[in-house]
Chain A
Amino acid sequence: MTLTRREALALTAGAAAFLATASRMAFASAEDAEKAISEFTGGAAPQSGKITLTAPEIAENGNSVPISVSVDSPMTADDHVASVLVLAEGNPNPDVATFHFTALSGMATATTRIRLARTQNVIAVAKMSDGSTYIDRKEVKVTIGGCGG
């Protein structure tokens, strides 16, 4: 079968559109992460600073990537970190975890291990007891994805 130039172009465009849809179905996009952030903050844009997200620059195995968050706060009953939302914007579902702190936590730090499907940004958003929010993000390069396809 021979293709005319017009047919070939139409096919290419169709394939590109299909690929774009398919990848949108399989992975969350940055917009999904933004949506989750604004739900968490109640629509306010989080400021930078105060929160530090620690993650490896390169993760060989996406099945288990150590991350830790720490927020600068006196952690008293009146002024403490209420919760920290962790998101991975390139995973099938951007939610990773939500940590809840109290004044009894002493420090607002937590460490866990997460799954990353591919190279992407990991985002941490902290919500203080007074309602202000802070954000930090780190790009993690993933060698082998952790979704076990």
Chain B
Amino acid sequence: MADPKPRIKVPKTASKGEVVTIKTLISHPMESGQRKDSAGNVIPREIINKFTCEFNGQPVFGCDLDPAISANPYMEFTAKVEESGTFTFSWTDDLGKVITTEEKIEVS
């Protein structure tokens, strides 16, 4: 499978101390390990099990995901910004693959 492409919505600018809303969506089947294929064999579990968001290296938000999270996991959360900087988002799947992406924000 090609690398899943995350889609992230972060405001470009914010005022100091503002709480901004961040929305993320990543394409991933989140195979739960409960389904069976047409031959009756269980399809092995393969999900994204961890999501983290950091701002300038400081943890902002994290989530441990279980198979009950829908395919193409969507996360919406908030962050309080005191200075300009970079958000780093990372998703870790069951195979240990990490997908990382960054978004900048300008704080005035």
| B contacts with A, residue count (CB < 8 A) | 29
Is A75 located at the chain interface by the 8 A CB criterion? yes
- Closest-by-CB residue of B relative to A70 is B78
Q: Are B68 and A105 in contact (CB under 8 A)?
A: no
Interface string of A112-145 (1 = CB under 8 A from B): 1111100000000000000000000000000000
Q: Are A113 and B34 in contact (CB under 8 A)?
A: no
Q: Are A97 and B63 in contact (CB under 8 A)?
A: yes
Closest CB in chain A relative to B104 CB, distance in Å: 16
Given A97-B68, A105-B80: A111 touches B61 (CB 8 Å cut-off)? no
Q: Are B80 and A115 in contact (CB under 8 A)?
A: no
Q: Chain A residues near B65 (CB, 8 Å)?
A: 97
Chain B positions 45-69 with a Cβ under 8 Å from a chain A Cβ: 55, 58-69
Interface string of A75-100 (1 = CB under 8 A from B): 10000000000001001110111111
Bound complex: CA of A105 vs CA of B61, how far in Å?
A: 6
Closest CB in chain A relative to B27 CB, distance in Å: 13
Given A109-B78, A110-B75, A149-B35: A115 touches B68 (CB 8 Å cut-off)? yes
Closest CB in chain B relative to A75 CB, distance in Å: 7
Q: Chain B residues near A147 (CB, 8 Å)?
A: 32, 34-35
User: With A99-B63, A103-B80, A112-B63 given, can you name 19 additional A-B contacts, CB distance below 8 Å?
Assistant: A91-B68, A95-B68, A96-B68, A97-B63, A97-B65, A97-B69, A101-B61, A102-B59, A104-B79, A105-B79, A110-B75, A111-B75, A111-B76, A113-B69, A113-B70, A114-B68, A114-B69, A115-B32, A149-B34
